[in-house]
A and B are shown apart, each in its own frame.
Chain A
Amino acid sequence: MRQWLVMMVLAGVAALGSGCAFHRTVANAHFKDIDPSFITVGKTTVYDVLDRLGPPAPVSELSENFRLISDTHLCYVCYESRRTTFALGYVLFLPFCWEDGQMTDELLIEFDRDSGVVSSVTRTRQATVRPPLQGESARAPRQTQNLTPGLRR
């Protein structure tokens, strides 16, 4: 009797667990650790930056480019999302899905509109959490760093 019970519990766990999946998607991972130390504030131009780093790439759609590039800024974005799904696929399909998506690393390079040289560099880092296993309280505080004072002039 006890063996049957154990087997039924195991079968139940296997049936429930089969629908459980954890996803992590990272877009533009190569932008995550851009080193802006080559920039000289007031001297490096937008073309120098483009030659060195290439153009910013959108996370998912090309239409995003409008917000990443302008005559006064370039923004290099790394996007990460964590998704947990639990989908029971036995006759009655109950899809459970939790997702958190954040721009985990953004490097914002601003230019003087008239001269086209770098005027400031800012980096923002934001962590993702994995809902529902982690709530908002588990998220590390956003970090924003003004890198301009540390660059050459």
Chain B
Amino acid sequence: MDNGFDTQASDDQQKEEFISLVAHEFRAPLTAIKGYLSMILEGDAGKVSDKARGFIADALTVNERLVRLVNNMLNVSRIEKGKLLFQLEKINLSRIARGAIDNFRAEADRKGLNFALEIPARVKDLIEVDVDKINEVVANLVSNAVKYTDKGFVKIKVLTLDEGWIRLEVIDSGPGISKEEQKLLFRKFYRVESTAGKTVGTGLGLYICKLLIEKFNGKIGVESDVGRGSNFWFELPLAK
């Protein structure tokens, strides 16, 4: 049964297996770095000076970037093939937004950005999702906003919509994105070019965000213009 189709399939399987194993190997040291550094910050190794605290927070920030990169690498082919298993649970979207503020605080502070969260009082925002996956989406959006914004602000907003939907926006005062590029942004491997000299990353982040949000029956998009900042948003149905 050695026909071309089978050979192709086994090549694909081998590649996937290889990526999975490499990513696994990457994750072990990343776990140790993240774990030990966070334990130092939490005082498990004794008193830490403010300066050391700042250094460690920076090291944790770049470590998180690697964690996200590995997650994206692992996720992309699995989601495409419908092979990613989700652990659904109910959670308030505001809680996810607050977590993102905590996680990116150090990086935003270092760049001198005004980094804020806007949530209306008594908001109805219970959604049923895989929490880790939605955390990844928000982290991808906030990470981009902080990375590309050199001065001004990054704001996370949670808004209720009519008819059982909730919306999260990541708004920044960065360079903005042209209308032409906005059409291509959520495509696989697309990397923004209009922000001169800042083209970094794998071009997987927003593509994965789109796949994930759509898996949870939501919508994702961007409103932006060159020189006017960007607003990346997604909308999800409220839990029944």
Instruction: Decide whether A and B assemble into one complex.
Output: no
Give A residues with C-beta under 8 Å from B: none
Residue positions of B touching A, CB distance < 8 A: none
